[in-house]
Amino acid sequence: MYLETKRLILRNLTDDDFSSLYNVLADSDIMQHYPYTFDNTRVHNWILKNQERYEIFGFGLWAVVLKESGKVIGDCGVTMQNINGSIKPEIGYHIAKKYQHQGCAKEASRRVRDWTFENTPFNIIYSYMKKSNIASSATARSKGMCYVDEFNDDENEITLVYAITRNEWNNLKTNVNF
C-alpha cells in the first residue's frame, strides 16, 4: 500500500519501523487514552498484526511518513474493531507528540477515509475514542464524521462513537474544503 497527501506518505509497516513506532506507542502521554503503553514485545506484535491484516483484509494501520524527511511519525489506517458489541470498520491513528496539533492526524485520516470508500464495500466508517480525548473527537469531526453513539467501555469509561456514511462522504466531495 502506498498513499500520499500533501505532506505525508502512508505505507505498509515493516520491521524497520520498530524504533520509530516504539517511540510513539511506548509514550505514556500519547497513549493516555489507550488501556496501556507498549513495550518491545507489544510493538513487535503490533507490526506483525498489521502485516497480517494487510494479507487478510487488504488494509490495516499504515506507517505515517513525513514526505520531507522520510521520518515515520506514527500510524494511521482502518481496522475492524469491536465498537459497542459489533465489529465495524474504524479509522485509528497514533501520531508522535512532536507532530500533534499540526494537522497530521487529520490529513492522514482523511486520506484513509477516502481510500476506504474508494476501495472497500463499506458504506459507513467509524472512529471511536474516550470521551476525554477531545483532540480525537475534533479529528473525527474534521473528516466529516458525526457523533452517533456512546457506551461504557471495558475500563468503565465513556467512549464516543463518530461515523460517516458513503453518501455523506460523496456529498463532502462537492465541498471546497474536501
> Residue 48 maps to which CATH number?
3.40.630.30
pTM of the predicted structure, to 2 decimals: 0.93
The H or E element that residue 51 is part of is: helix 40-57
Could you list the residue range(s) of the whole structural domain that residue 157 is in? 2-172
In a domain, 177, yes or no: no
Q: Where are the beta strands (DSSP E) in the chain?
A: 2-4, 8-11, 61-66, 72-83, 86-95, 124-130, 146-152, 158-165
Tens of pLDDT along the chain (178 residues)? 899 999 999 999 999 999 999 999 998 888 877 777 889 999 999 999 999 999 999 999 999 999 999 999 999 999 999 999 999 999 999 999 999 999 999 999 999 999 999 999 999 999 999 999 999 999 999 999 999 999 998 888 899 999 999 999 999 887 755 5
